[in-house]
Structure 1
Amino acid sequence: MAESVPVRCPACRREHVYAAPAFPCACGAPVRPPLARGATPVPITHRTWSEDWVSVRCQACGRQDQWPHPELGCPCGTILRIIVRSVAAGPGDGAGVAGPAAPPLHIPLPPTAPAPRPAFHPVTIRTARDAVTAAALYLKWLGYRDVRHVEPRDGATVGLYAPGLVARVEPSTRRTAVRDVETLWLSALAESAVPVHFSLAGYADGARFRADTLAVPLFVLDLTGTPQPVNSPADELVTTGGGE
């Protein structure tokens, strides 16, 4: 069974139960970062690539490798870094214990959904381009066709477009601001399209509230490449799907 730990968001005090996703070792065995039970999660206010990775030892073959640091997106908009046990603890304490693959961390479809989608297969995020690729794959999984992206001219968020869709991806360490949400909404309104926003670093205070009032779905990208919905419009989009 996958190891799970209780997690309390320090921002909103919401309780979660978290299980780290599994990654395939070079030997083929699934590996999960060993979670530190009882440790307080750390809100991520800015990102550095060195802190976003953790050393994990495969229990099957002993290989030590770098994997995405476990993260949890709280519905309040806070991104939490889950504390893991040091790889130096060794196999004796269960560090790097292998287990069955974890399910995707998206909101599951209800039993009444007419056409369940197959499981989403993410791509690990190591670069800003990976974040854009992960968001584009997720939109295709939701049902949008002909998803294309437009490179920004001024270092701003990357635009993703499809029939009936205008999306933005913020792949940097900057938290998405209220103005970003409003600009996206206006762009989508002009195109009579659905606005969707993806952020790697999460959302600034007020951005989620503004998105709720404008019905803009917000997602955060964890380093496994699986977008996680953080507001009700995003939950609804995951449930109903997109596209024509």
Structure 2
Amino acid sequence: MESVPVRCPVCHRDHAYITPVYPCPCGSPTAPPLMRGAPPTVITHRTWNDDWVGVRCHSCGRRDQWPHPELCCPCGAVLRIPVRPVATRGTAPPSTAAGPSHIPLPRTAAHPRPSFRPLVIRTARDAVNTAALYLRWLGFSDVVQPETRTDSRIDLRAAGLIAQVDATTRPTALRDVECLWLNALNTSVSGALFSLAGYTDEARSRADGLAIPLFVLDLTGAPQPVNGPADELVSVGP
């Protein structure tokens, strides 16, 4: 797997980013080619077109659209990693497929749970489904989605937990954290937040004070904990 150094332009923290590898329909491992030395960009507004990148399989020449590589910095910034454009090859067969429905999450450390198998996120419903799968993987039982989203904006319920999934293109705001906390308090359960676009500084600070776990969803469907309460939930479980 290719690894490149990445410095967060917000907090200047250095990371070693490992390229995610996906299985091509032909069976060969395929990865977006990263641009070494090119600075990452901070994602402040998402568009679905920018979130996908063309990748060509070196074995069969097939070109598919894969999620653009991203890195969730502990400071809360979501970074888009630059990718080299796919070279034009006239003999390459065109493809409109967006990739397989399941992409294995690379292991970074030993973990007592089996590997989480995420779903590629293309729609807001995919984001909710991914969060539900992740909560079950963490150990929450009876995770259900309400038939309709009420004014409380609760997307998922489980034994002892309610969760909100923000699939909008703007960072989740302070108000969302406080509303979730109040709903959890009123029902005597815990709360958790999942976001596609990350969180504002105010939201992160408030979530830390209220012990609300925050997770960021990337388009590969791999939730990442971005604050202490989330790290503790992943390590200890419900």
TM-score (structure 2 length as normaliser): 0.89
Match of 2:192 in 1: 196
**Number of aligned pairs?**
224
**In 2, are the aligned partners of 1:108 and 1:239 still within 8 Å (CA)?**
no
Instruction: Return closer, same or farther for 1:40/1:158 CA change in 2, 3 Å cut-off.
Output: farther
Instruction: Return closer, same or farther for 1:108/1:190 CA change in 2, 3 Å cut-off.
Output: farther
SS, match of residue 168 in structure 1: strand
SS, match of residue 120 in structure 2: coil
Instruction: Return closer, same or farther for 1:49/1:9 CA change in 2, 3 Å cut-off.
Output: same
Paired-residue identity, %: 62
Instruction: Return closer, same or farther for 1:158/1:49 CA change in 2, 3 Å cut-off.
Output: farther
Instruction: Return closer, same or farther for 1:72/1:106 CA change in 2, 3 Å cut-off.
Output: farther
Kindly report which structure 2 residues correspond to 1:42-61, keeping only aligned pairs within 5 A, or say none. Answer: 42-61=41-60
Instruction: Return closer, same or farther for 1:89/1:209 CA change in 2, 3 Å cut-off.
Output: farther
SS, match of residue 232 in structure 2: helix
Match of 2:222 in 1: 226
Residues 149-198 of structure 1 show CA distances to partners (whole Å, capped at 9, x for unaligned) of 123246x8552100100111001112110110011111111222121100
**Runs (5+) with no aligned partner, structure 1:** 91-101, 111-115
**In 1, are the aligned partners of 2:154 and 2:162 still within 8 Å (CA)?**
no
Match of 1:104 in 2: 105
Alpha-carbon distance, 1:106 to partner: 7.7
Letter in 2 for 1:47: R
**Runs (5+) with no aligned partner, structure 2:** 90-102
**In 1, are the aligned partners of 2:193 and 2:213 still within 8 Å (CA)?**
yes
**In 2, are the aligned partners of 1:159 and 1:169 still within 8 Å (CA)?**
yes
C-alpha separation in 1, matches of 2:191 and 2:107? 19
Residues 33-57 of structure 1 show CA distances to partners (whole Å, capped at 9, x for unaligned) of 0111111000000110000000000
Match of 2:4 in 1: 5
Q: CA RMSD in A?
A: 1.9
Match of 1:147 in 2: 143
C-alpha separation in 2, matches of 1:105 and 1:48? 26
Match of 2:38 in 1: 39
